Amino acid sequence: MRSFGNYMQDWLYGKKGYYRKAIVGKKGDFYTSVSSSKFFGGTIAFYILKLLEQEKLSLPLKVIEIGAHYGECLLDVAKFLDTLGIEVVSKCEFISIEPLEELQQIQQSLFKDSFHFYATTLKDLHISKQDNVFVFSNELFDAFACEIIKDNQMLFVDEKHMGVWDKIDEPTSELLATLKIKEGHIPLDLHSFFKELFERLNKAHQWMFLSFDYGDEKPRKDMHLRAYKEHRVLDFQDILNNLSNLYQQSDLTYDVDFSLIRSIVESGGGHFSFYKTQAQALLDMGLMELLELFSQSVGYEKYLKEVAKVKPLISPGALGERFKAIEFVKKASEFQ
């Protein structure tokens, strides 16, 4: 019998793990902001240009995406920087932090030789003291395997793919103490991930970290683990009843506790910049100005088609409200 967190890690990232073969978009199990519109990455690029103009960042610049899947969003960022910026893209490195070799190969193939791009692991990421770094992610934190704690018990899974509630084991007790949490969905490697990330980022002259994800400022009290299969959403009880069929064949996710993210990041060298709905963040970052520029260079019909694709990014009924954006910048600090 193994803990659910260990089971989920293998479900998503094992040798036959779901993310090694997941298809995102209309033909897959779920869609994201990236698959909805290229203007998601375009707005990030537009925002980077603003930061350069305001001298909050400077060239040369490392643009890093963590958890890029196939790399489409990072490529969109590069293409928009190339189109919108004057002599900017030639002074940028585009880096994907990706632990799965299969996805690294797909990303390399996608970029080909069009930009200064490479894929690597966090362990092998090199940052020097003169570097300026802009890091971003989309739906990264909800993909961390988690332990599930309820009523002073934790969830395990036996050899027959059956869920079993039992007493909290010692490693999980230590993790709960580290994160100062008593119950809920406990991300296994979040603290160690940030520690490793900050060991690198804090060497840089300046860094900024922007992340979009599904969740809220406070942890949810209910069991909100979800599986996505062919755009159907299965709740916690559905998952427990069908573990053997869903294992490694569906996406598995949960709401992000942004208060936990903020606590970990601020203890490790990050200064809180903002927390907003995705809709508000994209609008503040320049989405409408970018669309206005686009309208001046294409026909009205093509413009309307792109606007229709953009709407889910900021619509309250789609991705605009339930998805949040959080940003941190460097401060002088040491990870505790």
Q: CA gyration radius for the chain?
A: 20
Read off the pLDDT of residues 220-265 as tens digits, 9 standing for 90 and up. 889 999 999 887 899 999 999 999 999 999 999 999 999 999 999 9
The angle at the Cα of 8, spanning 179 to 121, to the nearest 5 degrees, equals: 75
Rounded-to-integer distance, Cα 9 and Cα 2, Å: 11
283: helix, coil or strand? Answer: helix
Given a cut of 50, whether residue 30 has pLDDT beyond it is: no
Contact 94, 112 (CB under 8 A): no
Rounded-to-integer distance, Cα 201 and Cα 212, Å: 19
Q: Is 296 exposed, middle or buried (0-12, 13-18, 19+ CB in 10 A)?
A: exposed
For the chain, the average pLDDT equals: 91
Rounded-to-integer distance, Cα 128 and Cα 119, Å: 18
Which of 105, 106, 44 lies closest to 78 in space, CA to CA? 44
The angle at the Cα of 108, spanning 106 to 113, to the nearest 5 degrees, equals: 140
Percent of the chain scored above 70 by pLDDT?
A: 95
Given a cut of 50, whether residue 284 has pLDDT beyond it is: yes
Task: Please indicate, yes or no, if residue 66 is contained in any of the structural domains.
Answer: yes
Task: Please indicate, yes or no, if residue 139 is contained in any of the structural domains.
Answer: yes
Rounded-to-integer distance, Cα 314 and Cα 212, Å: 13
Q: Is the peptide bond before 219 cis (omega within 30 degrees of 0)?
A: no
Read off the pLDDT of residues 181-219 as tens digits, 9 standing for 90 and up. 999 999 999 999 999 999 999 999 999 999 999 999 988
Domain that holds residue 249: 2-320
Task: Please indicate, yes or no, if residue 325 is contained in any of the structural domains.
Answer: no
Which of 143, 144, 76, 83 lies closest to 107 in space, CA to CA? 76
pTM of the model: 0.92
Read off the pLDDT of residues 131-143 as tens digits, 9 standing for 90 and up. 999 999 999 999 9
Token pair for residue 158?
């036996």
Given a cut of 70, whether residue 27 has pLDDT beyond it is: no
Rounded-to-integer distance, Cα 88 and Cα 78, Å: 10
Task: Please indicate, yes or no, if residue 327 is contained in any of the structural domains.
Answer: no
Read off the pLDDT of residues 106-119 as tens digits, 9 standing for 90 and up. 999 999 878 999 99
Task: Please indicate, yes or no, if residue 329 is contained in any of the structural domains.
Answer: no
pLDDT at res. 190: 95
Sheet containing 251-253, strands listed edge to edge, beginning at the edge strand earlier in sequence: 232-234, 226-229, 251-253
CA 246, 247, 251, 256 dihedral sign is positive
Given a cut of 50, whether residue 77 has pLDDT beyond it is: yes
Rounded-to-integer distance, Cα 203 and Cα 335, Å: 12
Q: Check which CATH number belongs to the domain holding 56 and give it.
A: 3.40.50.12710
pLDDT band with cut points at 50, 70 and 90 for residue 155: very high
Percent of the chain scored above 90 by pLDDT?
A: 78
Rounded-to-integer distance, Cα 235 and Cα 223, Å: 9
Task: Please indicate, yes or no, if residue 73 is contained in any of the structural domains.
Answer: yes
Task: Please indicate, yes or no, if residue 332 is contained in any of the structural domains.
Answer: no
Given a cut of 60, whether residue 37 has pLDDT beyond it is: yes
User: What's at 177, amino acid-wise?
Assistant: A
Given a cut of 50, whether residue 69 has pLDDT beyond it is: yes
Given a cut of 70, whether residue 24 has pLDDT beyond it is: no
How many domains does the chain contain in total? Answer: 1
The mean pLDDT value for 314-321 works out to: 84
pLDDT at res. 23: 65
Given a cut of 70, whether residue 10 has pLDDT beyond it is: yes
Task: Please indicate, yes or no, if residue 331 is contained in any of the structural domains.
Answer: no
